[in-house]
Amino acid sequence: MRGTGLVAVPYLLVRHELRLLASLWLWAARRTDGAARGGTVFGYARGQGAMMGGFAFVCVVESVMMSVLLRDWPAVHHVVLVLDVYTVVIVVGLHAASVVRPHVLDPDAGTLRIRRAIHVDVRIPLERIASVRRELRTTHEPRYGELDLAVGSQTSVTVELAEPVTHVSFFGRRREVRVVRFHADDPGALVRAVERARAGDAVP
């Protein structure tokens, strides 16, 4: 496995679970992670809310059905119930991670931070941005040097770079990207804010 050793995999998985649980706490406390003072946050989780809610509902229904089917085997019932409840927690945690980790534009630091839950966190220096535009895409073909971060199977903002930035995958694999496509709940506001920051104007 490139980018990480097999020994590191359990550590990465445990860290992943802990960060999901931390996201639930942040969500309940109505706090965000990584929003710098003076920075502007842009959410992207609205497009997946219904889907994740439906997924969690299906998991709850499955838990109830399994409880009924296994009621005569209490030991197995307890084990399966714990696993089912934990699955629901993880599903909700995935959505919470997207809510509490928005994109962040920080003109003072000169960066646009593009995120996708706890799995992606790419910092793009503003001086490396060649162009930024609204562009709705619902299909994404994997291409060398391009990073697509779809939410609800769509991206709404495209950033093209004059110089590449490094994207590090969940398992530590590094690759250079020159085009980043991602989703924002208000793509127009994000594009305008980035353009103003690149021009040196204050971002409201």
Q: What percent of the chain has pLDDT over 70?
A: 94
What does the pLDDT look like over 6-54, one tens digit per residue? 556 677 778 888 888 899 999 999 898 887 777 899 999 987 877 787 8
Identify which has the larger pLDDT, 52 or 111: 111
Nearest to 128 by CA among 82, 177, 83, 174: 177
Beta bridge partners of 122: 114
Nearest to 179 by CA among 122, 117, 139: 122
What does the pLDDT look like over 155-179, one tens digit per residue? 999 999 999 999 988 777 899 999 9
Is a pLDDT exceeding 60 seen at residue 2?
no
pLDDT at site 5: 52
Identify which has the larger pLDDT, 150 or 4: 150
Q: Region 95-124: what's the mean pLDDT? A: 93
Gap between the Cα atoms of 185 and 156, Å rounded:
9
pLDDT at site 34: 81
Q: Region 58-87: what's the mean pLDDT? A: 86
Rg (C-alpha) for the chain, rounded Å, is 20
pLDDT at site 35: 79
Is a pLDDT exceeding 60 seen at residue 101?
yes
pLDDT band, very low/low/confident/very high, at 74 (cuts 50, 70, 90): confident
CB 188, CB 134: distance < 8 Å: yes
**Distance separating the N- and C-terminal Cα atoms of the chain:** 45
Phi then psi for 96, rounded to 5 degrees? -60, -40
The model's pTM: 0.83
Average pLDDT over the chain, rounded to whole?
87
Is a pLDDT exceeding 60 seen at residue 204?
no
pLDDT at site 167: 93
Is a pLDDT exceeding 60 seen at residue 1?
no
pLDDT at site 156: 96
Q: Region 109-122: what's the mean pLDDT? A: 93
